[in-house]
Structure 1
Amino acid sequence: MSETEKIKTPQQLWEKISSIFVHFVERIFFVLGVLIAKNPWRTIAFSWIFVILSCGGLYKFYIEKNPIKLWVPPDSDFYHDTNWYIENFGTMLRMQRILITADNVLEPEVLFAIKNITKHVEYMKAEYDNKTYSINDLCLKVPIVNFGASSWKSRSDEPEKKNKTHVDYSDPSLWMDTSFYCSLVENFDETCLQNNVLDLWSNKEELLYNTTKNDIIARVNDIKVNPVTGHPYDYTKLLGGVEYDINGDIVIAKSILVTWYMYVNMTDVNMNEVGNLIGTEEWTSVPLALWEKKFLEYAETLHEQYKDLNFYYESGRSFADTSGEAMFGEMGKLFTGIFVMFIYVLLAISRWNWLEFRLTLGGVGLMSVGMAYGCTIGWCSLIGIPFGPVHSSLPFLLMGLGLDDMFVMNACWKIVVSSTDPATSLPLKIGHMLEHAGVSIVITSFTDIVALLVGAITILPSLKSFCLYAAMGVFFIFIFSVTFFVAVFTLDIKRIEARRNGVFFCYQHERDIKLSDGETFFSKILAKFYENIVFTLPGKIVIILFTLIVTGFSIESIFHLEQRFDPQWFIPDNTYYKDFLNSYEHYYPREGNPAIVTLGDMNYNTEFKKLHNMVKELKKESYVADMDSWVETFHQYVLTNYNHNLLNGSDLSDEKFNRYLSQFLFSPVGGKYQFQFRFPEPLQCGGTINQTLASLMSFTFPRFEGPETYIPAMHTVKDTVKNTNITTGSGYRSVWAKAFGNWATDEVIAVEVERNVELALLCVMLCTIVLITNIQMCLWIFICVLLTIINVLGFMQRWGMTVDIVCCIGLELAIGLCVDYAAHVGHTFLTIKEGTRNERALKTVTSIGTAVLLGGGSTFLSLSFLSQSKAYTFQSFFKIFFLVILFGLFNGLLFLPVVLSFIGPKRSSRNKADFSPEAVELNNTKNNEQNGL
């Protein structure tokens, strides 16, 4: 060889290195196949021993039920603010609501119905741990302070001005001796907090039975203080679909709302005990959860009791119940899917004779998926990865991937049988089958695993956990495919050679049964389709033009793809909770999301002016509505009762400020703010305050259209609060709302999707470069994967889907899945040495195309049952995987072969699929010498 010939180009050098690596991998699989074929029963035994040992990890199995740890980034403000709130306040309210609609709910008959409902709710009891709990044991109690309450009436010519009221900040308790007043306060009765129109009649039945329609209208419009508790309240807020008279008074209302508030001590809640399997249950206690179940059971009967009224209802557990039922109520479809998949596999690998009816082999293909799933849960549990809500869809995915490997090995077996000497021993045939199929399976499995591991770097906990489970599942699918399945495959071939029946294994046919020639009717049709349509010049032009047009269409659609998620999507239609949400949104469209400003340890006297200015700035924001600030109320209270302006500076001592604050929190004016403060010691009437550890202020966000408005609103309000220059204490200040959990996820999900898709594509490219010897082929495989992802994203938008956490998980899996189709075709094309590019491309699709198409069909079939699910998660998965399979098969079986027929690379430097008799004989001699076979 000349010096010039010895000099290698980078391409040649890389192909040489990669060829050595691939040859090494092929050699491993060849030896593995021979060993398994010689010891099939031992392989099966070892496989099951490994499965049983792996299941031992289930003793550490843990289902994460805490929604904060599932759906919220751990480094987000919401995560830290929620923990701060639990640590400092640890209280939560859960609402039980009944919405009543009629032509006019301001009628005595409606009040009588509300009275009966209220009485029944008060008598309802739940039993837990040998104790009985009523609403009085579980509700949020507030003191009855109506002795100092004042009521007022406001009138205006315009309805929208009705809410303007004058507030009296004078404190009648200051007229009394402190000890006497505190003795009264300590003896205040308490009652359950509720928003109930019956309070306007002080819950006195004799007044209620004598009421008239005009009396109802007058009380609802005029009374602004709860006659039962003495706390201010505007009862017009309970009404929806209202009509006004010329004076601005409500005269007709289409709906009325009754609300009961239940109390939860968040620090005592065990989410493992009360949470649900999809992580949508909020903090609650077991007795309260049981009582809420009784409440829902009763509410369901109201339609039968009151035929002329419509009832819509919700409980604190409604979202968790309906979303959980939607997710896990569909698990019966999994068993149906397994049965249908078994029939599909049986038809795909069997032939219409008693010997080649491969009942066992089809069952083992599905069994290996179950074994992989069991090992996945065992090992992931052992290393401490929690099981999450979307993991229930993993069996559907693994079924598709596992059967894909089985079809590839079956296709390679046909090549071996048709190309080798019939006298070649079965172990050698199995070795050659696995030699070729193993590399192809390694390419797809390894790229799937890498793509999933890339997804695991996400900051979203549930996505990270799912990707790790899926990567582990793909790994075990690969392991059992090349061991357990190959062992059973060997036994099945031996059964056929021994002429044993495919169903009744003990029966041996006495006469020979003619076996099929390996070509099925479907494969013949496929070959004709490619030869007469696809690989004609017009066919190639149509496919390339179609690819370009659809890709351009998809790119245009991607620019309109929205980033949006609404928790209500988890609620299926035709459920009581969905009906309630729809009705509530219709009758109370202005209701937004409640939020709080959280303030930590600081000198509230020194910082009071800054806090007051902060509140004024917040009220200027269009995003802030109905702000109820103790700061402004306390300022007016001190100004009215002590003639001292807290905004004049720091001329007020800390001692006097704290004394005023203590008096304020026990006054009729400020008593409602007690729960918004935390002190080192329990607050007592007449006592002193030495330090304020934390405080809250409540407000409401208006209803937003989508993330383009609520994410800026969240940041604007947060910035206003955090930019307040606090110089004392911890200085902690933030804004918290339950809705921030979804908003924070929405904020990062688009970045997560973009980053993970890009990294996964890069890793897929690198993996194929390592495992496939030809860089040009790697580039075409990468282009096929990229086109598939572009088309999936584009048609997601056309299908009405948005970018959210569920779609993010689906896209992570999609990248690993869509590379399989192109990789099988590309790898097979490189192994064919004879003929023109067009002939090699045709031989590629006719030899491996059936297996790839069957694999795509199995994945689609395994996921098709999700299309019938009412669960948003399953529906989204189905849509994404349908698009992945559709475009993945198109790009892998049509676009890629057409491109390769024009400009495909040359064959590999080594003929990996050469099963000619001469090559096999040479290989057999070498193998016998090296392995003692």
Structure 2
Amino acid sequence: MPSTEGPSGPTGLARLGVSFIAALEAFFFWLGCFIGHHPFYVISSCLLIGALFSSGLHNFTQENRPEKLWIPSDSHFVRDSEWMRNNFPNNVRPQFAIFEAQENIMTSENLIQILDVIEEIKSIKADGTEWSNICLKIPVVTFGQGGGLRRRRAANESESEWDDIFGSDFDDAFEEDLFKKKDFGEPSFLKNFDPSVHFDRATYCSFLSGMQEACWLSSPLEIWNYEREKIGNLDLDEISTALNETDVSPVFGIPRDYLKMLGGVQMDQNGTVISAKTILVTWLVKSDPSKARGEITNDAGTGDSVAKNILNWEAEFVNILNKNRNGSITIYTFSGRSFGDVSGTAIKNDAKKLSIGFIIMFIYVQLMLGRFNLVEQRAVLSLIGIGSVGMGCVVAYGICSAFGIPYGPVHNILPFLMLGIGIDDMFVIAQCWATLGPEVSTLSLPEKMGHTLKHAGVSITITSLTDFTAFAIGATTVLPSLRSFCIYAAVGILATYVLQATFFTAWFSLDLRRMLDSRDGFLFCIKYKNYKPNNCSQKDLFKSAFEAILGSFLFKTPVKVIVLVCTATLLIFGSWGLSMLRQEFDPIWFLPQSTYLFKYFDKSKKFYPSDGEPGTIFLSNFNHYDHLNSIADMIDRLEEQKDIIKEVDAWYTPFQKYSNTHFNTSLPGEKLSEDRFHDILGRFLFSPTGSKYRMKFIFNGTPRCLLDAPPVKVKTGAKLHDQFL
């Protein structure tokens, strides 16, 4: 060890270190004496200050959104996500269910079981909320077998009502064989047919306003219009034929690929699906926070503002799908509230484990601090020591919550971390008392406590500062969840350190007085006269075990060799494993594997693997009609990226075709005036081609079918489906 002394004595750094240690010892000696003289004052002060700091829990915030946990808060992704959430709030909450059969899901019996579940969900009444009240509704239009467009009539509507609007030959035109492309091909006069242009605008808008709407429920049972008798009479060939050949929904009248709703499919030599393991059913719930008024709550799983009645309906939805059934199918489900529910349940389960951990640690502390006799047992002191750790956790949570630091799923291990550090401090204090030399045996109890804390205080200070520094450095990370965890841990270490040095020490001094007074270790009111502990309780079993067994055994030469070989082997394998370390991230890893949500994602990944993640480009803060050429150029460049982009779904592409075909423009080369642009855009957004893009705009006003589009505030540029991200 290098010397700290120079030619004429200790160096300046060494003198500084000695002075610092001496100052710490003096302070802790004074603190120990003060606690020994005034234990109740110290205890009451700690309780009062702890209650004051814990008041910050009223601002306790739990964060479960992945982008808020694992992505740097100053990243453009978080910034853009916040902007998107503010400008394009998520008003649609999908609910999924995967129905899995042991063999083939494509049987009438299995389809009937799925129908039973769908009907049960439709009958949910949560706080008076039914499926029909909260579902996302879309206009119902039927397409003829050959692709013709026709409005679905209500049962009480007469033929003449629609003849008055469109003329008597409107429906007949769509029913003619001219629409059967496989027989006659598409008529040339219908090649560019668009009712939003070819019909009078007032007539077309009247037609739109009168269209029926249906709740968005996506499943292969649409093919048979959810008719129980029809589904029950199907055989395997009929089911297979319908699923393979139906490409238009009889319920909504929109194109539909029912084969994508099947998982684990088997095909014959002709490429026809003949069996499948699973069927995916999707419900879409519409949540409009602006209409929920005072009933808005924050969904811990999504971070979205959701009305309570919708969250309650989703709870019933999950309960129905997760209940035990006697059928031949297994159901795996995902709801909008699932992430919040599962994370909340995980915290409750962790709380149970924490209780078990505290019990185990209590037994261990009792064995280490106390002895097996009536007076020297320290069950109460052990509980108080562990309780002071819990108090330190509450204080840390209160301080961090007061400053708005969120609590994440990783934070659940903090009580266990604090427990280990706090118990270590307890043992140091107790051991310093036990090793006091004979020179202090004649001193008073407060002075003995001063000498105890003089040595123990320096030790726990150094270890606590080391732990605090480690977590303080960790708090500089850019990952929000890890930064928050390190801050909580650092504050918790300081709180535990202070409470062990004061609160626990005060109780320790009271416990010493009890023992000197020969009072029972649990029932303090009982005092024993001429008490003498039994000889067995005076033996230190742990010390004897380490000295007699482990100590003598470990120092034998063969054992030393075995230990060194095992250590070297572990080092080699550890280094080899480290060389194969990969950096990956999946929020699903944080879900307990026993939960229904984890099982759903496991089945979804197996039977419905994604070919990429969607991305969105937003365009704002400029006059779009002056930059249509730039928008078109951007889309062209995106579509050229075939290696990473599978599909580009941009509003401008169909808008350009719509404008050039029906309004004799020559986009993108032609520059449209502001009035001309809003006129065509207003028609386009209510046309069959452009209606799906209407919700992707933010206007300074409400778009109306009969009017030009209002000025655009924000416009989405494109939806990207990236194969690799």
Q: Which string of whole-angstrom CA distances, capped at 9 and with x for unpartnered residues, describes residues 309-342 of structure 1?
A: 3433332222332333123223122222222222
Are residues 302 and 684 of structure 1, via their aligned partners in 2, closer, same or farther at CA, if it must alter by over 3 Å?
farther
Counterpart CA distance in 2 for 1:150 and 1:244 is: 30
Mapped contact 2:414–2:489 kept (Cα < 8 A): yes
Judging changes above 3 Å, is the alpha-carbon distance between structure 1 residues 206 and 380 closer, same or farther for their aligned structure 2 residues? closer
- Which SS does the other structure have where 1:693 is aligned? strand
* 2:321 equivalent to 1:321: no
Deviation at 1:627, TM superposition (A): 3.7
> Secondary structure, in 3 states, of the residue corresponding to 1:91?
coil
TM-score of the two chains, using structure 2 as the length reference: 0.84
Count how many residue pairs are aligned between Structure 1 and Structure 2. Answer: 679
Q: Tell me the CA shift for residue 174 of structure 1.
A: 2.0
1:285 to 284, 292, 307: 307
Q: 1:456, 1:464 within 8 Å by CA — same for their partners in 2?
A: yes
In structure 2, what is the equivalent of residue 483 of structure 1?
502
Instruction: Provide structure 1 residue ranges, at least 5 long, that are not aligned to the other structure.
Output: 156-166, 703-709, 714-933
AA of the residue aligned to 1:24: A
From the superposition, tell whether residues 446 and 271 of structure 1 become closer, same or farther in structure 2 (CA, over 3 Å). farther
- The correspondence of residues 512-911 of structure 1 with structure 2, limited to 5 A, is 512-513=531-532, 520-527=540-547, 532=552, 550-551=570-571, 553-590=573-610, 592-619=612-639, 620-642=641-663, 644-647=665-668, 649-689=669-709, 691-696=711-716, 697-702=718-723, 713=725
- The one-letter amino acid of 1:181's match is Y
Cα pair 2:105 2:277 within 8 Å, conserved: yes
State the alpha-carbon separation in 2 of the partners of residues 522 and 310 from structure 1: 53
Q: 2: CA distance between counterparts of 1:169 and 1:592?
A: 33
- Aligned partners of 1:302 and 1:311 also within 8 Å: no
Contact 1:61-1:387 within 8 A present in 2 as well = yes
Equivalent residue, structure 2, for 1:222: 245
Residues in 1 aligned to 2:12 and 2:294: alpha-carbon distance in whole angstroms: 58
Cross-structure match for 2:83: 84
The CA RMSD over aligned residues, in Å, is 3.5
Please name the residue that 2:464 is paired with: 445
Aligned counterpart, 2:320: 298
Report the Cα offset of residue 97 of structure 1: 2.2
The reply to whether residue 420 of structure 1 matches residue 478 of structure 2 is no
Q: 2:174 aligns to what?
A: none
8 Å contact kept, 2:371–2:538: no
Q: 2:140 aligns with which of 138, 144, 153?
A: 144
- CA distance in 2 between counterparts of 1:272 and 1:459 reads 35
Cα deviation for residue 556 of structure 1 reads 3.8
Deviation at 1:570, TM superposition (A): 2.9
1:63–1:198: structure 2 CA closer, same or farther, 3 Å change rule?
closer
Give the match's secondary structure for 2:617: strand
Matches within 5 A, 1:154-173: 170-173=193-196
**Deviation at residue 459 of structure 1 after TM alignment:** 3.0
- Residue 316 of structure 2 aligns to a residue in which SS? helix
Paired letter, 2:126: A
Q: 1:386 and 1:400, CA in 2 relative to 1: closer, same or farther beyond 3 A? A: same
User: Which one of 450, 465, 481 corresponds to residue 431 of structure 1?
Assistant: 450
Deviation, 1:548, is 5.8
Following TM superposition, by how much is the alpha carbon of 1:583 offset from its aligned partner in structure 2, in angstroms? 2.7
| Structure 2 residue matching 1:454: 3-state secondary structure | helix
What is the deviation of 1:255?
2.4
Give me the whole-angstrom Cα distance separating, in 2, the residues matched to 1:104 and 1:353: 68
CA distance, structure 2, for counterparts of residue 308 and residue 536 of structure 1: 64
Distance change (3 Å), C-alpha of 1:283 and 1:67:
farther
Separation (CA, whole Å) in 1 of partners of 2:69 and 2:294: 12
Q: Please say if residues 67 and 280 of structure 1, whose CA atoms lie closer than 8 Å, have aligned partners that are also in contact.
A: no
Preserved CA contact (<8 Å) 2:295 2:308: no
> Aligned equivalents of 2:81 and 2:219: distance in 1?
30
Equivalent-residue separation in structure 2 for 1:510 and 1:29 (angstroms): 35
Is 2:288 aligned against 1:265?
A: yes
Trace 1:273-422 onto structure 2 (pairs within 5 A): 274-275=297-298, 283-301=305-323, 303-304=325-326, 307-416=327-436, 418-422=437-441
Give the partner amino acid of 2:125.
K
- Looking at structure 1, the residues matched to 233 and 440 of structure 2 have their Cα atoms a distance apart, in angstroms, of 103
| SS, match of residue 368 in structure 2 | helix
Match of 2:517 in 1: 498
- Local SS of the residue matching 2:306: coil
2:478 maps to 1:455: no
Task: Supply the AA of the counterpart residue of 1:41.
Answer: F
Identity among equivalent pairs (%)? 34
Cα offset, 1:346, TM superposition: 0.9
The residue type equivalent to 1:15 in the other structure is: A
- Give the whole-Å Cα distance in 2 for the aligned partners of 1:212 and 1:404: 71
Q: Distance in 2 between matches of 1:108 and 1:548?
A: 63
Measure, in 1, the Cα distance between the counterparts of 2:576 and 2:193.
64
Asked if residue 49 in structure 1 is aligned to residue 28 in structure 2, the reply is no
Per-residue deviation, 1:403: 1.0
Query: Distance in 2 between the 1:479 and 1:654 partners?
Result: 69
The 1:83–1:58 alpha-carbon spacing in structure 2 relative to 1, beyond 3 Å, is closer
Q: What residue is the counterpart of 1:28 in the other structure? A: 27
Q: 2:208 aligns with which of 155, 161, 185?
A: 185
CA contact (8 A) 1:606 1:650 kept: no
- 2 CA distance for matches of 1:67 and 1:267? 25
SS in 2 for 1:410: helix
Q: Deviations over 1:87-122 (max 9, x none)?
A: 222234222223233444444444444444333333
Residue pair 2:429, 2:456 contacting (<8 A) in 1 also: yes
Aligned with 2:214: secondary structure? strand
Aligned residue for 2:721, secondary structure, equals strand
Give distance in 2, aligned partners of 1:272 and 1:362. Answer: 46
279, 292, 303: which one pairs with 1:256? Answer: 279
Q: 1:104 to 1:607 in 2, by over 3 A?
A: farther
Structure 2 residue identity aligned to 1:297:
N
Contact 2:266–2:276, Cα closer than 8 Å, also in 1 = yes
SS in 1 for 2:95: strand
432-441 or 187-196: which moved more?
Answer: 187-196
Residue 472 of structure 1 aligns to a residue in which SS? helix
1:796 is matched with which residue? none
Letter in 2 for 1:634: F
- Further displaced range: 394-403 or 315-324: 315-324
CA distance in 1, matches of 2:680, 2:425: 76
Residue in 2 that maps onto 1:742: none
Match of 1:124 in 2: 124
SS in 1 for 2:325: helix
Q: CA deviation at 1:402?
A: 1.0
How far apart are residue 525 of structure 1 and its match?
A: 3.8
Report the Cα distance in structure 1 between the residues aligned to 2:181 and 2:305, rounded to whole angstroms: 40
Match of 2:130 in 1: 134
Determine the C-alpha separation between the residues in 1 that align with 2:286 and 2:96. 15
The AA in structure 2 aligned to 1:172 is: P
Cα gap change, 1:253 to 1:229, in 2 (>3 Å) = same
Conserved 8 A contact 2:626-2:671: no
Q: Which runs of 5+ in 2 are unaligned?
A: 150-178, 183-189
Q: Structure 1 107/345 Cα, relative in aligned 2: closer, same or farther at 3 Å? A: closer
Q: SS of the residue aligned with 2:486?
A: helix
1:372-418 CA-to-partner distances (Å, cap 9, x unmatched) read 233333333444444444434322222211110111112212221x4
For residue 51 of structure 1, give the secondary structure of its aligned residue in structure 2.
Answer: helix
Contact 1:314 1:577 in 2 (8 A): yes
Deviation of the 1:490 alpha carbon:
2.0
